[in-house]
Amino acid sequence: MAARFPVMIVSLARSGRRERIAEVMSRYGVDFSFIDAIDARRFESDELARLYDDSAARSRYRRALTRGEVACFLSHRLLWQRVVSGGRSVIVLEDDALLDHAFFAKVLTWPEGPLARIADVVLLGRSKLSRSSAARAYLYEPLKRAKRIDGMRIGTPFKQWTSGSVGYWISPRGAMLALAHTEGPVRALLDDWPWHRDDGAMIIKELRPYVVWEAFESLASDLEGERIRLAPTRARWRDCLLEPLRTVRLIARWTVAAVIRLVESAGGSGKRHGGAQ
């Protein structure tokens, strides 16, 4: 396998997870390295106040960010600096990532040029999504204007949200944009992809099917306990009431996606006919 992209794995030195993912990478002969994540336990209160904008976070999410979420953001920012200085696109994984065979057989060998022309970041998976639930996720979140690379689809979902950072591809341009718009104290979640898109002018796409999965069912998260405690609760009855609206939204999204494909196909056909005259 002639991989085009190195893999950077964000990992706490104390996590105890490195051996598993290193064995997988070595088995496939992947060029990889670990990025030591910043340990939130080492934050002093005055240091946290300097590194984190609590007012901005509360304004956006109606809650404070956890120490772990701040440390996670800072860890990925260190990684983006390496991407910019190295001048190469990389694939970023977290150390609890589970990888499909297509990750090694296809994604690692994507042609960099065409990919960099359509995206700054491509999300390769989604946190808290099991493989058994993937088909439903694809159904409810179709892609718009999807391009095919090596038989896989890369496009824009109808809704981008805080869907995790378990695995993503990022270009040097994407890393440069990310660093520029996140300079200063942390004021948002790392995986707030709409924020990166709107505030950072980053082009963020998603892959279908996903090839990276989070081992949330078997490995405890350092972030999840504190995050659940701080997050506002949502009543169960509200989800039940919203279900009919989700069905309507589902039909509308697939209709829009189909219309876009038809328009693009007609445009492409017109260009080919025009060129033949």
pLDDT tens digits, 134-153? 999 999 889 988 999 988 99
pLDDT tens digits, 83-99? 999 999 999 999 999 99
Beta bridge partner(s), residue 212: 99, 125
Residues 189, 160: contact at Cβ < 8 Å?
Answer: no
Q: What percent of the chain has pLDDT over 90?
A: 63
**Between 74 and 232, whose confidence is greater?**
74
pTM of the full structure: 0.82
The answer to whether domain 7-233 has CATH 1.10.1200 is: no
DSSP classification of residue 65: P
Q: How far is CA 48 from CA 144, 186, 211, in A?
A: 40, 10, 35
pLDDT number for residue 27? 95
Which residues contact residue 268 at a Cβ distance below 8 angstroms, ignoring those fewer than 6 apart?
none
SS3 88: coil
What distance lies between CA 98 and its chain's CA centroid?
Answer: 14
